[in-house]
Amino acid sequence: MTQLERSHLAIVRAVDQYGSLTAAAERLNLTQSALSHAVRKLEDQLGVALWTRESRRLRPTQAGEYLLSVANRLLPQLTHAEARLRQFAQGERGTLRIGIECHPCYAWLLKVVAPYLAAWPDVDVDVKQEFQFGGIGALFAHEIDLLVTPDPLYETGLRFEPVLDYEQVLVVGPQHPLRAAPFVQPEQLARETLITYPIAIDRLDIYTQFLLPAGIRPKRHKPIETTDIMLQMVASGRGVAALPRWLVEEYAPKLELTAVRLGTQGVTKQIFVGIRAADAQTAYLRAFVELGREHRN
């Protein structure tokens, strides 16, 4: 009976990532012939083909897809386990790997990281923003230790705690006619250019909780990546935006911005911190969650 080894999983993952044996061999520091031999030997031992060749690329078979899913799940966990064991051997607590699922989450995180690093000098912090809207999978795969998100999913094995309450508001510039309004109604945005982060509409609160329930869409939707440029655009009269009130208040003195309530009741949101339930008693993880709650508004 063939026993799968870590090297087999690494081969499967590398071939999928790089698409050819030549590129995968270079990544794995092997010659192409050595990798070709390893692939044939693995398929012979398993008794099933893992790839089919299409033009110059290798495409996984059904068996290959299954083994690839195993590799994608196990390899990050093995890497994480080795890193943790090295840290234990060196007397270190380790690195806190944080995933971010929203742009304002990052702005909030900056407020917490500095006091956390001061309180935990032997713990490093690594922030990974590539997990936007894929953080739950990253938590389960042990690619991150903690997730900062406005949209928790309460699945078995995970714990989420609210760390920030905030109000989502409309942001307008100094010459905008709505700047003196106590609140804005959805229909008042039908002729506006709405500037947002480059996120699908079904993940934007201004749409899901304010505009779409009223059957309203803005005249134009303009995605912009960074908060600074977004608010510069708003201040110059190029459009309006929707952001947390606390974030707008930080920029308002410099850019003459005004926050206007969305509807008569406003749109309230929370930011959550999620961790794996199995790690709930890990001291430096708990400390981050507790520090986050201290910064809760």
Residues 95 and 117: beta-carbon distance below 8 Å: no
Max avg pLDDT among 211-215, 275-279, 290-294? 211-215
Query: Class of the 165-269 domain?
Result: alpha beta
Residue 94, Ramachandran bin (φ over 0: left; ψ between -120 and 50: alpha; else beta): left
pLDDT in tens, 97-133: 999 888 888 888 888 999 999 998 888 898 887 545 5
pLDDT in tens, 144-194: 999 999 888 888 899 999 988 999 999 999 999 999 999 999 999 999 999
State the fold for domain 6-87: Arc Repressor Mutant, subunit A (1.10.10)
Burial class (CB in 10 A: 0-12, 13-18, 19+), 287: middle
Burial 192-222 (b: 16+ CB within 10 A, else e): bbbbbbeeeeebbbbbebbbeeeeeebeeee
Per CATH, the homologous superfamily of domain 91-163+270-294 is: Periplasmic binding protein-like II (3.40.190.10)
